[in-house]
Amino acid sequence: MDTFQKLIQQLKQTSHLELVGKNFSNETVSNQSVQCSVLGEITFFNVDFRDVDFIGSHIVGCNFNNCLFDNVMLIKCEFWNSNFEDCQIIKSNLTRASFNNGNFKNCIFRNVKLTASEFSDFKFIETKFQNSELDFILARSIEISKSNQFLEIEKSLNFEEILKEANMSTDQDEGERP
Q: What pLDDT, in 10s, does the model give residues 161-176? A: 777 777 777 776 555 4
CB count in 10 Å sphere of residue 154: 8
pLDDT value at residue 172: 60
Q: How far apart are CA 142 and CA 161, in angstroms?
A: 14
Instruction: Look at residue 175 and tell me if it is in a domain.
Output: no
- Report how far apart, in Å, the C-alpha atoms of 68 and of each of 30, 44, 91, 135, 149 are: 11, 10, 11, 23, 27
Q: Which residues contact 140 (CB under 8 A, 6 or more apart)?
A: 118, 119, 120, 121, 154, 155
CB count in 10 Å sphere of residue 126: 16
Instruction: Look at residue 148 and tell me if it is in a domain.
Output: yes
pLDDT value at residue 16: 72
- For the chain, how many residues are written? 178
Least confident of 16-20, 93-97, 98-102: 16-20
Handedness of CA 166, 167, 173, 178 (dihedral sign): negative
Total number of domains in the chain: 1
Instruction: Look at residue 177 and tell me if it is in a domain.
Output: no
Instruction: Look at residue 36 and tell me if it is in a domain.
Output: yes
Instruction: Look at residue 2 and tell me if it is in a domain.
Output: no
Instruction: Look at residue 178 and tell me if it is in a domain.
Output: no
What's the domain range around 83?
Answer: 16-170
CATH of the domain at 62: 2.160.20.80
Q: What is the pLDDT of residues 122-147, one digit of tens each?
A: 999 999 999 999 989 998 999 888 77
pTM value? 0.88
Q: Would you say residue 10 has pLDDT above 70?
A: no
